Amino acid sequence: MRAKLTLLARLVDLRDLLAFGGLAMIGYGLALVYVPLAWVAVGAVLFWLGAGSVTLPPPTR
């Protein structure tokens, strides 16, 4: 179990948690107004993030 947690800690960055946590909050807020809008907005942002990770060069550290 400890090995899995250390692997997860190496794979997940704080920026990932903030990005997807914020996206979840935006999706929830939009779902309170109009559910289809929430699905479209969250799907569009996820698509944008996925397409950007394919087309952009890897970040340098």
Q: Kindly report, residue by residue over 29-60, the tens digit of the pLDDT.
A: 999 999 999 999 999 999 998 887 666 667 77
Q: In this structure, what token pair is assigned to residue 18?
A: 């903030």
- In 1-61, which ranges are continuous DSSP H helix? 2-11, 14-33, 35-55
Looking at residue 39, the DSSP 8-state letter turns out to be H
Give pLDDT, residue 31: 97
Q: For residues 27 and 16, which has the higher predicted lDDT (pLDDT)? A: 27
Q: In this structure, what token pair is assigned to residue 1?
A: 């179990």
